[in-house]
Amino acid sequence: MELNNKSISELKKLYGQNSVKPSEVVQSCLDAISNKDNEIGAFLEVMPEDALRRARELEKESSEERALFGIPIAVKDNICTIDRHTTCASKILKGYKPPYNATVVERLLDAGAIIIGKTNMDEFAMGSSTENSAYQITRNPWNMEFAPGGSSGGSAAAVAAYMVPVALGSDTGGSIRQPASLCGVVGLKGTYGRVSRYGLVAFASSLDQIGPITRTVEDSAIVMNVISGRDTFDATTIPDKPGDLTVGLGRGVERLKIAVPGDLERWDIDEELKGILKDTVAKLKEAGANIEPVKFPDMEASIACYYVIANAEASSNLARYDGVKYAFRAEAESIGEMYERTRGEGFGDEVKRRILLGTYVLSAGYYDAYYNKAQQVRAMICSEFETIFSTYDLVMLPTVPGPSFRLGERIDNPIEMYLSDIFTTSANIAGIPALSVPAGFTRKGLPLGIQLMAGYTQEAKLLQGAEMLEKIYNFNKG
């Protein structure tokens, strides 16, 4: 029995039957990592001794007492784990070990989960291919010559390659959903504030969100149940617990009103993806959903707004890495030279590009023209989504314009790389929940994803619709 191939819900059932032990599940995942990850490069650090020790401790308990009892989980390397490396895949944080766990990690452990390792990412979550890591490149498990997406590419690849049943990622402009789409897994980001950001190394604080990457919609709901909720360490968290997000599963989509953008034809979308979207609309109508085209918030304005706000906040957040407090410090003869050399040598090209852009849009003479204007556009996008969700339950559109791209193909063309996020950034700008579901393959065998968005705090409705898409596509059983 290949236990690493099992979903969370399948493992929970096996534990309930006393058919397997947590140490057996962990060992199966460790074996899969050992066999596959030398080629894929999903993990920056694996913790076999810690994981097996915790598994044996859990074997003394009842499996029914904890929601994630004995479930191995990988964690993106920008989420703090106590006394374990948290580098954000950056040279400037090489060797850094936080003195505390992120709130999400504490909640996973309280629920009985087993942290098995830290996954690779684009440096400081800035990228769409996981090629910007200072340590290694991650490859797409479906084709090793292609990118897994980013910035949570290591997490998506680890789940897609059956090395772990679930991994945590972070999503600032699509960094959970985009790699989930390119790797053929489920990627969920909740409403802004649904999950605590305490212990998530900041990129853009008003956009960053933590969420699960899994192989099934039900598993995403199970993990979100655990990690969401108010946190006194994060004042932006939503006060109310969302309730059990699995209760809407199995209800279908009868009488749900689903909007699709009416102008998708003007975008350069993969033809096979267009066919999947058209077929999905037909099947959802057969299932009883009411689907209509709507005027969607301007995606070009959204992505421009995103890259102004995100880079401005990155410029501010990354100012703390100066070589004085922790981690990497360059040798220099003066403190001014030390600052310059530390940041120049410690940050990669993409991070430096975004710091420069962010500093520029915040500078005197340009603040009103760029940053203030972007905030006005953000308010407009939020208002337009409120109008849509006053009538419709869900919005459906592609996650990304097409399948994965070859490694190296876009690394020297940042604009083309940024446009990978054209359909994902608006959900972060508006702070609404969104999810990517694997929908099928191209003729070349690369996964394609379809995205759903829902209104503020409507995760249960989002998961309800996503489960129906999962049944239509039958991806993991095809």
Mean pLDDT of the 110-126 span:
98
Q: What is the dihedral of CA 74, 80, 83, 85, to 10 degrees?
A: 70
Percent with pLDDT over 90 in the chain: 88
Residue 330 has pLDDT above 60, yes or no: yes
Token pair recorded at residue 94: 């090489």
Most confident of 56-65, 298-307, 320-329, 432-441: 432-441
Long-range contacts of 468-472 (CB under 8 A, 24+ apart): 468/252, 468/253, 468/284, 468/287, 468/289, 469/280, 469/437, 469/439, 470/186, 470/216, 470/217, 470/437, 472/280, 472/283, 472/284
Kindly name the residue from 7, 128, 151, 426 that is annotated as catalytic.
151
Least confident interval from 136-150, 263-277, 366-380: 263-277
Mean pLDDT of the 160-177 span:
98
pLDDT tens profile 37-58: 999 999 999 999 999 999 999 9
Residue 477 has pLDDT above 60, yes or no: no
Banded pLDDT at 188 (limits 50, 70, 90): very high
Mean pLDDT of the 162-180 span:
98
pLDDT, residue 327, reads: 83
Banded pLDDT at 478 (limits 50, 70, 90): very low
Beta bridge partners of 211: 169
Residue 182 has pLDDT above 90, yes or no: yes
pLDDT tens profile 226-251: 999 999 999 999 998 778 999 889 89
Higher pLDDT, 248 or 361: 361
pLDDT, residue 61, reads: 85
Q: Which domains does the chain have, with CATH numbers?
A: 3-254+393-477 (3.90.1300.10)
Mean pLDDT of the 99-128 span:
98
pLDDT tens profile 145-168: 999 999 999 999 999 999 999 999
CB 240 within 8 Å of CB 266: no
Banded pLDDT at 23 (limits 50, 70, 90): very high
Average pLDDT of every residue of the chain: 95
Higher pLDDT, 474 or 436: 436
Mean pLDDT of the 435-444 span:
96
Kindly name the residue from 12, 76, 91, 461 that is annotated as catalytic.
76
Mean pLDDT of the 32-39 span:
98
pLDDT tens profile 339-353: 999 999 999 999 999
Least confident interval from 119-123, 319-323, 438-442: 319-323
Banded pLDDT at 325 (limits 50, 70, 90): confident
Is 76 an annotated catalytic residue? yes
Kindly name the residue from 23, 175, 220, 436 that is annotated as catalytic.
175
Residue 291 has pLDDT above 60, yes or no: yes
Mean pLDDT of the 182-201 span:
98
3-state secondary structure labels for all residues of the chain = CCHHHCCHHHHHHHHHCCCCCHHHHHHHHHHHHHHHHHHHCCEEEECHHHHHHHHHHHCCCCHHHCCCCCCEEEEECCECCCCCCCCCCCHHHCCCCCCCCCHHHHHHHHCCCEEEEEECCCHHHCCCCCCCCCCCCCCECCECCECCCCCCHHHHHHHHCCCCCEEEEECCCCCCHHHHHHHCCEEEECCCCCECCCCECCCCCCCCCEEEEECCHHHHHHHHHHHECCECCECCCCCCCCCCCCCCCCCCCCCCEEEEECCHHHCCCCHHHHHHHHHHHHHHHHCCCEEEEECCCCHHHHHHHHHHHHHHHHHHHHHHCCCCCCCCCCCCCCHHHHHHHHHHHHCCHHHHHHHHHHHHHHCCCCHHHHHHHHHHHHHHHHHHHHHHHCCCCEEEEECCCCCCCECCCCCCCHHHHHHHHCCCHHHHHHCCCEEEEEEEECCCCCEEEEEEEECCCCHHHHHHHHHHHHHHHCHHHC
Is 274 an annotated catalytic residue? no
Residue 466 has pLDDT above 80, yes or no: yes
pLDDT, residue 415, reads: 87
Is 151 an annotated catalytic residue? yes
Banded pLDDT at 419 (limits 50, 70, 90): confident
Residue 68 has pLDDT above 70, yes or no: yes
